[in-house]
Amino acid sequence: MAQLTTHVLDLTHGHPGSGILVDLYQVESGGLRLVGSASTNEDGRVNKFSLESIDPGIYQLKFRVAKYFRSLDIRQAEPEFLNDVVIQFGIAQQDEHYHVPLLLSVYGYSTYRGS
């Protein structure tokens, strides 16, 4: 079965985004099903979502970034430009490692399939 990891790099400050809550959802015909939650560690990484493995399918990672920036005392207009960052992606291969990083700043983000 596939494995899933993620990490957050805070490009605003040039360091890992630690302490960010990340929810993992599986996209199903009836909507979203929460399958795991974790917070990024001091290195900005989530190495496990309390799952031994993950089945092929469509998933979403939801990063709670507004709370993270507030914890760093970055004040923005209400509501914040980025509250939650949601990345939807597919897992096709049962025997592969999927790494989905988030490159984050106060007003933007990007992602890619890492290794």
Secondary structure class of 68 (helix, strand, coil): helix
pLDDT at 1: 65
- Which pLDDT belongs to residue 115? 84
Predicted confidence (pLDDT) at residue 15 exceeds the cutoff of 80: yes
User: E strand or H helix at 65, and its extent?
Assistant: helix 65-71
pLDDT digits (tens, 9 = 90+) for 59-106: 999 999 999 999 988 877 788 889 999 999 999 988 899 999 999 999
- Going across the sheet that includes 21-28, the strands are 31-39, 21-28, 57-64, 84-91
**Predicted structure pTM score:** 0.92
C-beta separation of 38 from 20 below 8 A: no
For residue 89, the model assigns a pLDDT of 96
- Per-residue model confidence as pLDDT tens digits over 67-79: 999 998 887 778 8
Interatomic CA distance for residues 93 and 69, integer angstroms: 35
What percentage of the chain reaches a pLDDT higher than 90?
73
Domains contained in the chain, CATH given: 3-111 (2.60.40.180)
